[in-house]
Amino acid sequence: MMPLQNDRYLRALQCQPVDYTPLWMMRQAGRYLPEYRQLRAQAGDFMTLCKTPELACEATLQPIRRYDLDAAIIFSDILTIPDAMGLGLYFQHGEGPKFKTTINTSNDIKQLAIPDPEIELGYVMAAIRQAKYELKRKIPLIGFAGSPWTLATYMVEGGSSKTFTKIKKMLYSDPSSLHQLLDKLSDSIALYLNAQIKAGAQSIMIFDSWGGVLSHSSYREFSLHYMSKIISQLQRGQRQHTFSTDYVPVTLFTKGGGLWFDLISQSGCDAIGVDWTVDLSTLPKEKIAIQGNLDPTVLYGNRHTIEKNVDLVLKEYGPYNGHIFNLGHGINQDTPTESVEILINAVHQKSAK
């Protein structure tokens, strides 16, 4: 098999030496790009964009054509699994994702079928295969899923939430039903991610967007336990002491989960994503890779501000292997495209020194 032209991202995930710090951005394919907004208008609605492999592939490639990024991430949504379970995902303008059907009882959970990733979610695999072909081995392709806890919050709440009262009510008044739901989601996600690996994903991200709303003990029981369960089921090859292109590394990202870094490092993951509330200088280096952690709103600043903050992140991490530069959360939709260019050039140039 032909080697990747740029494998820095995969090397950093395996804590191997690189000539500069690799960079990609959460939500790098999205609304801040004018070409994405045109594609979204062409698709008509967000779900058509996700479910049409040619369009999802195009969205994946748009930021790669524009910027010198070190990894592509497949264009999709974390809520594809609940949608494939029949909950009827739709997007209300200005309000984010919603479900036509919500999960309220143990009986609702029993009714949920585990989706076949090649049938109900086959459009994601088709997009991965097409994007992998179109990338021509230039850079690696990341596959992803939402964490069981995060998917459960949307399924029980019926959409986004500020207070998470419904899911927390279930957690404290009917924990056995919540465990039943999380178990079913774990099995579904493991199947889904294994299908993504088979389709060509070279790295996997698990987004635990809402893990940070849990208490310390609840995080372990209702979020981290299930992410660890998924990792144990992934068919990703054996990690070697030297760099291996056959191994598929896994990154866990719990927004607001920096205080649980040591716990997360025991999950079996290869890398931990951290948000901007974490001081990288306090984290152990070269045992596990670290992804992050620029505040996305820094990109509203001028060139000097962006470069100064890049310097800060790089200095906090220090001269160690195992750093993937990223934002501490997804890029904001009104971010200037020229700010992203400044960011990428600054990371590559400053880290090379």
| CA-CA-CA-CA dihedral for 64, 67, 70, 71, to nearest 10 | -30
Which is catalytic among the residues 77, 83, 270, 275?
A: 77
Whether 133 is catalytic is: no
Whether 236 is catalytic is: no
Give CA–CA dist 8/19, Å, rounded. Answer: 8
Whether 31 is catalytic is: yes
Which is catalytic among the residues 31, 66, 220, 303?
A: 31
Give CA–CA dist 98/92, Å, rounded. Answer: 7
Positions at the binding site: 27-31, 77, 154, 209, 329
Please check whether residue 9 is in contact with residue 24, taking contact to mean a CB–CB distance below 8 angstroms. Answer: yes
Q: Give me the residues paired with residue 23 across strands.
A: 325
Which is catalytic among the residues 7, 8, 9, 27?
A: 27
Task: Please report which residue ranges of 118-277 form alpha helices under DSSP H.
Answer: 122-135, 148-157, 165-173, 175-199, 216-219, 225-233, 261-264
Please check whether residue 166 is in contact with residue 213, taking contact to mean a CB–CB distance below 8 angstroms. Answer: no
Which is catalytic among the residues 9, 67, 154, 192?
A: 154
Which is catalytic among the residues 40, 70, 83, 208?
A: 40
Radius of gyration from C-alpha coordinates of the chain: 19
Positions at the binding site for substrate: 27-31, 77, 154, 209, 329
Whether 77 is catalytic is: yes
Closest by CA to 207, choosing from 193, 220, 191, is 193
Active-site annotation, residues: 27, 31, 40, 77, 154
